[in-house]
Structure 1
Amino acid sequence: MSEPEVIRKLDGHVLILTLNRPERLNAWTYDLGDLYFDLLDKADADPEVRAILVTGAGRGFCSGMDAEVLAQSASGAKRMPSKGRRMTHAMSIRKPIVGAINGACAGFGLIQALHFDVRFAARSAVFTCAFTRRGLNAEYGSSWLLPRLIGHGRAMDLILSGRKFDAAEAERIGLVNRICDDGELMSAALAYAQELATWCSPIAMADAKLQVNSDWDVSLNDAEDRAKALGHQPGHRQDFAEGVKSFVEKRAPNFIPLG
Structure 2
Amino acid sequence: MGDTDVLVRHERAVAVITLNRPDKLNAMTGAMSVAYADALREADADPDVRAIVVTGAGRGFCAGADLAVLNEGAEAIRKFVPAAENLPHLALRLRKPVVAAVNGPVAGIGFAYMLGSDIRFAARGAKIATSFSRLGLVAEYGLSWLLPRLIGTAPAVELLLTGRTVDAEEAAALGLVHHVTEPGDVLRAALDHAADLAAHCSPASLAAIKSQVYGDLERPLSQAVDHALSLMDASFDGPDLAEALTARDHKRAPVFAPLPRG
TM-score, length of structure 2 as denominator length: 0.93
Q: Deviations over 1:175-224 (max 9, x none)?
A: 10000001111111111000000000111101100111121222223212
Deviates more, 1:80-89 or 1:249-258: 80-89
Quote the sequence identity (%): 45
Preserved contact between residue 201 and residue 255 of structure 1 (Cα < 8 Å):
yes
Structure 1 residue 46 corresponds to structure 2 residue 46: yes
Alignment partner, residue 180 of structure 2: 179
Preserved contact between residue 47 and residue 257 of structure 1 (Cα < 8 Å):
yes
The residue type equivalent to 1:205 in the other structure is: L
For 2:53 and 2:228, locate their aligned partners in 1 and report how far apart those are by CA, in whole Å: 27
The residue type equivalent to 1:175 in the other structure is: L
Alignment partner, residue 245 of structure 2: 244
Alignment partner, residue 258 of structure 2: 257
Alignment partner, residue 149 of structure 1: 150
For 2:198 and 2:9, locate their aligned partners in 1 and report how far apart those are by CA, in whole Å: 15
What are the residue-to-residue correspondences of 1:42-191 with 2, within 5 Å? 42-75=42-75, 78-79=78-79, 80-81=81-82, 84-191=85-192
Alignment partner, residue 211 of structure 1: 212
Preserved contact between residue 122 and residue 186 of structure 2 (Cα < 8 Å):
yes
Give, in angstroms, the shift of residue 146 of structure 1.
0.6
Preserved contact between residue 25 and residue 104 of structure 1 (Cα < 8 Å):
yes
For 1:85 and 1:62, locate their aligned partners in 2 and report how far apart those are by CA, in whole Å: 16
Preserved contact between residue 64 and residue 110 of structure 2 (Cα < 8 Å):
yes
The residue type equivalent to 2:198 in the other structure is: A
The residue type equivalent to 2:233 in the other structure is: H
> How many residue pairs get matched?
258
Preserved contact between residue 25 and residue 63 of structure 2 (Cα < 8 Å):
yes
The residue type equivalent to 1:176 in the other structure is: V
The residue type equivalent to 1:137 in the other structure is: V
Q: Deviations over 1:22-62 (max 9, x none)?
A: 00000011111111111111111110000000000000000
Preserved contact between residue 97 and residue 117 of structure 1 (Cα < 8 Å):
yes
What are the residue-to-residue correspondences of 1:24-43 with 2, within 5 Å? 24-43=24-43
For 2:11 and 2:100, locate their aligned partners in 1 and report how far apart those are by CA, in whole Å: 15
For 2:72 and 2:215, locate their aligned partners in 1 and report how far apart those are by CA, in whole Å: 34
When residues 46 and 73 of structure 1 are mapped into structure 2, their CA distance, relative to the original with a 3 A threshold, is farther
Alignment partner, residue 230 of structure 2: 229
Deviates more, 1:115-124 or 1:65-74: 65-74
Q: Please identify runs of 4+ aligned residues in structure 1 that moved more than 4 A.
A: none
Please, which runs of 5 or more residues in structure 1 have no aligned partner? none
Please, which runs of 5 or more residues in structure 2 have no aligned partner? none
Preserved contact between residue 44 and residue 94 of structure 1 (Cα < 8 Å):
yes
Preserved contact between residue 37 and residue 90 of structure 2 (Cα < 8 Å):
yes
C-alpha root-mean-square deviation of aligned residues, in Å?
Answer: 1.8
Preserved contact between residue 97 and residue 118 of structure 1 (Cα < 8 Å):
yes
For 2:149 and 2:179, locate their aligned partners in 1 and report how far apart those are by CA, in whole Å: 18
SS in 2 for 1:104: coil
Give, in angstroms, the shift of residue 73 of structure 1.
4.9
The residue type equivalent to 1:72 in the other structure is: E
When residues 219 and 92 of structure 1 are mapped into structure 2, their CA distance, relative to the original with a 3 A threshold, is same
When residues 81 and 148 of structure 1 are mapped into structure 2, their CA distance, relative to the original with a 3 A threshold, is same
For 1:53 and 1:84, locate their aligned partners in 2 and report how far apart those are by CA, in whole Å: 20
For 1:196 and 1:88, locate their aligned partners in 2 and report how far apart those are by CA, in whole Å: 21
SS in 2 for 1:38: helix
For 1:179 and 1:114, locate their aligned partners in 2 and report how far apart those are by CA, in whole Å: 15
